[in-house]
Amino acid sequence: MPYQLLLATRNKGKMAEFYRILEAIAPGEIDLVGLDNFPESPDVVEDGESFQENALKKAREMAQATGIAAIADDSGLCVDALGGDPGIYSARWAGRHGDDLANTAKVLEQLAETPDALRKAHFTCGAALYLPDGRSHYEEARFEGWILRQPIGEQGFGYDPIFRPEGYSLSSAQMSAAEKDAISHRGKALRAIAPHVITLLKNHK
């Protein structure tokens, strides 16, 4: 019988990635449910100072609110020329949470005078699992690349259209879902945490 696991996000792009990656790792072993199944669940304020703090807070509060194990992530784009920003503020970099077009436009504007050789960046994903009994596990991974000068591609979400992965000639938004999952920060973090998800859920009473 599958183990129930809550994906603690309302971001549809993240939901799709979580589902694809976890199902590929443990097919049929986990019954993935989203926050739509818990319409009264609280909105978690991401006021941590790191990806780890935010991811663990989201997973913990959702597990406590719903009574089932929850997995959450906090991800962001870290640009060298911007001192690591937008970082944990990536989803609201332009002022309004989740406005992908405005966020990417702001980053491009900030880097307008930055030469190509100095447009190095990476995505970070912190993935956290939290069980109602208080046990937890955390993994973090990076996705290295460069910032393009204009958006290219229509796949993915967030900053994907302006991010060219290291060693590739196309943007993340030009990749198929399978191609991106194989090398992305979220794919790496979820593949790292998946064995712990299975172990902790099997031992959960």
For the chain, percent of residues with pLDDT exceeding 70:
99
Give the SS3 label for residue 178: helix
| 2 pLDDT higher than 80 | no
CA within 13 Å, CB half, 95: 3
Strands (DSSP E) contained in the chain are 3-7, 30-34, 70-79, 120-130, 136-147, 163-165
Residue 198 makes CB contacts below 8 A (sequence gap 6+) with 3, 26, 29, 30
Give the SS3 label for residue 74: strand
The catalytically annotated residue of 73, 74, 160, 181 is 74
Judge whether 74 counts as a catalytic residue.
yes
Sign of dihedral through CA atoms 39, 132, 87, 139? Answer: negative
Query: Within 10 Å of residue 97's Cβ, how many Cβ atoms?
Result: 11
- Rounded-to-integer distance, Cα 146 and Cα 152, Å: 13
Mean pLDDT, range 80-99, rounded to an integer: 93
The reply to whether the predicted model has a pTM over 0.85 is yes
Query: Within 10 Å of residue 191's Cβ, how many Cβ atoms?
Result: 18
Identify the bridge partners of residue 78 per DSSP, sorted by sequence position.
86, 122
Q: Predicted confidence band at 204 (pLDDT cuts at 50, 70, 90)?
A: low
Q: Predicted confidence band at 90 (pLDDT cuts at 50, 70, 90)?
A: very high
41, 34, 43, 39: which is closest to 15 by C-alpha?
34
- Rounded-to-integer distance, Cα 4 and Cα 84, Å: 36
Instruction: Look at the chain and count its residues.
Output: 205
Q: Predicted confidence band at 127 (pLDDT cuts at 50, 70, 90)?
A: very high
Beta pairing, strands 136-147 & 120-130: antiparallel
Domain boundaries, the chain: 3-203
Q: Classify residue 79 by its DSSP letter.
A: E
Q: What pLDDT is attached to residue 1?
A: 63
For the chain, percent of residues with pLDDT exceeding 90:
62
Most confident of 4-8, 92-96, 101-105: 101-105
- Rounded-to-integer distance, Cα 57 and Cα 135, Å: 13
Q: What pLDDT is attached to residue 103?
A: 97
Pick the CATH number of 3-203 from 3.30.56.10, 1.10.3720.10, 3.90.950.10, 3.90.1150.10: 3.90.950.10
For residue 151, cis peptide bond before it (omega within 30 degrees of 0): no
pLDDT tens figures, 5-41: 898 887 777 778 778 877 787 787 778 888 888 888 8
Who has greater pLDDT, 87 or 193? 87
Q: Predicted confidence band at 202 (pLDDT cuts at 50, 70, 90)?
A: confident
β-sheet with 163-165: strand ranges across = 30-34, 3-7, 70-79, 120-130, 136-147, 163-165
